Amino acid sequence: MLMAATSPDVIELRETGIDSPQRCAAPWLRAARALARWLDGCFGAITLIVGLSVLATIPIAQLLSLGYLLEVSGRVARTGRIRAGFVGVRRAAMIGRLAIGIGLWMIPLWIAASLRFSAHLIDPASRATRGWTAALIVLALVALFQIATGCLRGGKLRHFVWPRPLHSLRLAMQPGAYGLACDGVWDFFAALRVPYYFGLGWRGFLGAAAWLIVPISLLAVASRLKPGAGALAALVGGSILALVLVHLPFLQARFAAEHRWRALFEVRALRQAFTRAPVAFLIALGATLLSALPLYLLKIEIVPREAAWLPSLLFVVSIFPARVLSGWALARANRHPTARHWLFRWFSRLAMLPLVAIYVLLVYFTQYLSWYGVWSLYEQHAFLVPAPFLGL
């Protein structure tokens, strides 16, 4: 099991795999280990994305998904490295291996339980029923032993597939084996930092909601007012929302990087940072808005609860790069001590106008396409939880 890191800097290095390369004499062995690390990282990234997608469909727990995405932008902003945004990939790979290993042993149990149930329906006292009941008990004991010893031996896939009962018994009988196993499990779950990500997601959610509640509410009530008053409310709400959209992705990234609640509302400091990296801010804002627009098409029809994680998967995959780019833009601003040339600043400002205008216009009309109508305006998945939380 992975041990909990003792400091935030060490956690960042270990979770991103920056300290993982090992020296070896033979070049082919170095290449093989590098390929194994790369494949393990890819598997961990896939597991991480699927896990975040599942969490995003669970009420309250979806704040963990938002907290992770905020941490991604915060770490990139602090370190200036895109690689630092892949937080917990190695640990996610371990969770994925555990899930696959346990799932493989659940397959024969499921088959035996299904056959035993069918035999019991036909004749509860038959020989087939007794035989499948005994087979189910034996398989359950074997699966329990193999899963426990597989975790004890390291939790890799080969530890579940390739049984080594004598070696596993020797490990289990060693002095202090139970205490070491308990400590390893505790350290592993402690290193997941669930309270930290939940708190980060909760504060980021409240900060984004405070910025969005007024303009979104104006857009929501505009369609229910008389034509003149409705047009005025839509114009005012859309204008305020456009100003919010220019600032909010980077305010959330600053909040995640500095862990200060006030950073969510320090607009002047953010504008100063913009002058030092205007093109980077333009790229990050464009990626955030463009990646969020196609996701509104998934709200046209209601998604069954059993398949809710599938659109959430697309949400996470689309928003993750935008969070990385928001942190990258702040990191570039922090590295440059002086403002860029006025030509770059004004070009970026003028280029942002059509981006936010198109986004606001399309978001306003989504209330007529979405299954939940006007309430879908409050589902700003690019800044709140990465899922249509009103439909959960």
pLDDT, tens only, 4-13: 344 444 444 4
- CA–CA distance, 71 with 74 (Å, rounded to integer): 5
Three-state SS sequence of 319-368: HHHHHHHHHHHHHHHHHCCCCCCHHHHHHHHHHHHHHHHHHHHHHHHHHH
Model confidence over 63-122: pLDDT tens digits? 998 999 999 999 999 998 888 888 888 888 888 888 888 888 889 889 989 988 988 888
Model confidence over 173-190: pLDDT tens digits? 777 766 777 777 788 788
Q: Check residue 166 and give its pLDDT.
A: 76
Torsion of CA 277, 16, 264, 330, to 10 degrees: 0
Q: How many angstroms separate the most distant Cα atoms in the chain?
A: 87
- CA–CA distance, 296 with 237 (Å, rounded to integer): 19
pLDDT of the chain, 392 residues: tens digit per residue: 443 344 444 444 444 444 444 454 577 788 888 888 888 888 888 888 888 888 888 888 889 989 999 999 999 999 988 888 888 888 888 888 888 888 888 898 899 899 889 888 888 888 888 898 999 999 999 888 888 878 777 778 788 878 777 777 777 777 776 677 777 778 878 888 889 999 999 999 999 999 999 999 888 888 787 777 888 888 998 899 999 999 999 999 999 999 998 999 999 999 999 999 999 999 999 999 988 877 777 666 666 666 666 777 888 888 899 999 999 999 999 988 888 888 999 999 999 999 999 999 888 888 777 766 777 788 888 888 766 544 44
How does the average pLDDT of the chain come out, rounded?
82
Q: Check residue 80 and give its pLDDT.
A: 87
The token pair at 136 is 């189910």
Model confidence over 220-238: pLDDT tens digits? 888 787 777 888 888 998 8
Full-model pTM: 0.81
- Residue 58 in 3-state DSSP? coil
Q: Check residue 356 and give its pLDDT.
A: 92
Cβ(73)–Cβ(85) under 8 Å? yes
% of the chain residues with pLDDT over 90: 30
- Compute the C-alpha angle 215/219/222, nearest 5°: 135
Tokens 């093989």 found at: 32
